[in-house]
Structure 1
Amino acid sequence: MSRRNALAFLVLALVWGSSFPAARIGLETAPPVLFAALRFDGIALVVLAVAVLGGGRVRPRRTDLASIAAGGVLVIGVHNLLWFLGQQYVTSAVGAVVLATVPILAAGLSRFVLPDERLSVLGGVGLALGFLGAAIVARPTDATLSGSRALGVAILLASALAMALGTVFTQSTRSDLPVTALQGWMMVAGAAVMHAASLGLGESQTVAWTPRVAIAFAFLVLVAGVVGYLLFFYLLDAVGSVELTLVNYVSPVVAALTGWLVLNEGIEPTTVVGFVVVLAGFALVKRQALRSLAARYGVDDAADPVRTPDD
C-alpha cells in the first residue's frame, strides 16, 4: 500500500471510529431515528452537489432503481436507524465491535443471494465466531446493565445484518450510474425511510440543538459522512475490497479510545475478548483473500493490486 493510500486508510478509520462517540453525543438530546435521518439529509445534499459539480450523469434511470433501493433501504435506511437506536444502550466500543461483523455476515449471506459464491466449512466456523463475538460483548460486567445492553447489542446486530444484506443485494443489482450520484440517491432513499420510521415510532420531530450536539451533528455529516464516503470509494478503487474491509477492524480501536477520551467510557474485558473473536471469524471467512494479500506485500510491495475473490 502506498503512503498516500495508507494515510487515506488511517484517516478513514479515525473518522469512522470517531463517529460512534459522536452519535452518542447527538443522542443526548435528539430522538435517535430522527437524528439519523437528518444526518443523511445533510450528507445527501452535499454528495449530490459533488456529483453535479463532477459532471457525468446524475439523474437515475429505471435500470438504476433496483440498486438505489437495495442500498438506500437496507445499507443506509434500516442499517442506520437501527444503529442509532441500538447505540443508546451501549458504549462506542461495543457498537463498533458489533458492526465489525458486517463483512462476516455479508460473506455468509452472499451464498444465498449470489449464485457463484460459496461458504466453506471454515468459512461457516468464521461466521459462527462473528455471532459468538457479538454475544460476548452483549454480556456486561455489571449485572444491572444486562437488559439494556443485551437489547442494544441485539439491535446493533440487526443493523449489521441489514447492512450486510444490502451490500450483497447491491452487488447483485448492477448500475452504470456514476458512484457518487448513485450513493447520493441511496442516501436520499435511506433518509426517507428513516423519516418515515421516526414518524411511525412516534418520535418527537424536534432536536434540542445544544452546541455539543450541533458539533457532533456537523462532524457526522461533513467529516464522517461526506469525507468518510469519499475516502471509502477512493480506497475501494485504489486498493480493492479486501484491504478496505480491514478498516472495520481498526475502527473499533478508534471508537474505544475516542469514547474513553471524549465520553469517559470504560473499556471492558468482554468488549476486548469479543473483538478478538470477531477478528478471528473475519480471518477465517476471508482467509484466502488475506493470504493472497500477505503474499503480495511479502513478495513485491510495488506490484499492482490483484483482485482476489472472497471465500
Structure 2
Amino acid sequence: MSRYRNLALFLTLATLWGSAFVAISAGLAYIPPVLFAALRYDIAGLLMLGYAVYAVDNWLPRGRAEWAQVAVGAVLLIAAYHAFLFVGQQNTTAAAAAILVSLSPVLSTGFARLLVPSDALSPVGLVGVFVGLVGVGVIVQPDPANLLATDAVAKGLVFCAAAAFALGSVLTRRIDASLPIETMEAWSMLGGALVMHLVSLAIGEPFEPAAWTAPEAVGALAYLSLGASAVGFLIYFDLLERLGAVEINMVSYVAPIVTAIVGWIYLREVVDAATLAGFVLIAVGFLLVKRRAIRQEFSHVRSRGSSD
C-alpha cells in the first residue's frame, strides 16, 4: 500500500509542478514577471512559515550559519531562480521552460564537483554534463548571426534560472547548519519575495491592480501559491523523507511531460522536434551523471520489495 501511496504522491507532485509552468505563462499576460513571482512567494512563504511553526520545533533560524543558509536560499533558490524563469518565460513556451529547468540536477552535480575539487566527476559523469548542455543548445538553437534573438535570450534566461537553482542547492548543503528543511524553505520564500519586490521596484515594473482582477490572473496566482508551492512542497517534504533525493529528482523529468500536455490543451502550445530532442539529451545526461546513485537506489528498492 505504501508503494502505491508514494507513486500517487509522486504523480501528483509532477502534475502540480509541471502545470505550474502553464500557470506562469497564463498569469504573465496580466502581471509583470518579477512582481508576479514576488507575490507568489509572499503568499506561499506565509503559508509555509505557518506549517513550519506547526511541524518543527526550530521554526526560527538562529545563529550565523542558519541565517546564511536562509540567505543563500532566498537569493538563489527563490529570487534569482524565479526572476530569471518568469522573465524568460514571457517569450518562450511553458514546455521549453520546464525542460530547461530539468537540467538543474545535472548542473547541481557539476557545481558540487567544481566547489569540491577532491570530489571530481568520473569521465562518464563529465560526458553526462556535456550531453545535458548539448540538450540545452538543441533547445535554444542559437543563431551565430543573431545571438540576441528574443527566443534565444528568453531560453538563455531560463537556463540561468536552472543554474541559479543548482548553485543554490549546492551552497545550502555546504553550509554547516542543522536547520529543518521546512524552516529553511519558509524563510527563504519570504526573503526571496522581499528581494524580488525590491528588484521589481528597481526596474520600474508597472503596478496596475485593475489588470489583476481578471479570473485567469487570480487563478494563476492562487494556483502557483497554494497548489504548486504550498501543497507541492508539503508533498515534496513527505516524499523526500520516504524516497530520498535521487528518486525525488525524477520529478524533474516527469513534470515537463505534464507541462507539454497541459500547455497544448490550455495554451495551444506545440512542442517542436528540437525541444523534444533536447529533453531526451538532458534526461540522458541526468542518467549518466546519477547512474551510480540510481543503481544503488533501485537495488535498495528491490531488496525492500522482496522483504515485504
TM-score by length of 2: 0.93
The question of 1:86 aligning with 2:69 is answered no
The question of 1:24 aligning with 2:28 is answered no
The question of 1:101 aligning with 2:108 is answered no
Match of residue 151 from structure 2: 149
Q: 1:89-147: CA deviations, max 9, x gaps?
A: 1111100110000000000000122466321111111111111111111139xxx9x92
Residue pairs, 1:106-121, within 5 angstroms: 106-114=108-116, 117-121=119-123
Q: Which amino acid aligns with 1:170?
A: T
Are the equivalent residues in 1 in contact too, given 2:28–2:36 (CA < 8 A)? yes
CA 1:86–1:105 in 2, change beyond 3 Å: closer, same or farther? Answer: same
Whole-Å separation in 2 of the counterparts to 1:37 and 1:69: 16
Residue pairs, 1:57-76, within 5 angstroms: 57-62=58-63, 63-76=65-78
Q: 1:265-290: CA deviations, max 9, x gaps?
A: 11111111000010111111011112
Are the equivalent residues in 1 in contact too, given 2:56–2:180 (CA < 8 A)? no
The question of 1:37 aligning with 2:38 is answered yes
Whole-Å separation in 2 of the counterparts to 1:266 and 1:138: 16
Whole-Å separation in 2 of the counterparts to 1:297 and 1:290: 10
Gaps of 5+ in 1: 305-311
CA 1:302–1:195 in 2, change beyond 3 Å: closer, same or farther? Answer: farther
Match of residue 293 from structure 2: 289
Match of residue 46 from structure 1: 47
Match of residue 6 from structure 2: 5
Match of residue 174 from structure 1: 176
Higher mean displacement: 174-183 or 191-200:
174-183
Q: Which amino acid aligns with 2:277?
A: V
Match of residue 271 from structure 1: 275
TM-score by length of 1: 0.92
The structure richer in helix per residue is 2
Q: CA deviation at 1:6?
A: 0.9
Higher mean displacement: 47-56 or 241-250:
47-56
Q: CA deviation at 1:4?
A: 1.1
CA RMSD of aligned residues (A): 2.2
Q: What SS class does the counterpart of residue 188 from structure 2 fall into?
A: helix
Q: 1:162-191: CA deviations, max 9, x gaps?
A: 000000000001322332222110111111
Counting matched residue pairs gives 303
Q: What SS class does the counterpart of residue 88 from structure 1 fall into?
A: helix
Are the equivalent residues in 2 in contact too, given 1:296–1:303 (CA < 8 A)? no
Q: Which amino acid aligns with 2:174?
A: S
1:221 aligns with one of 199, 221, 225: 225
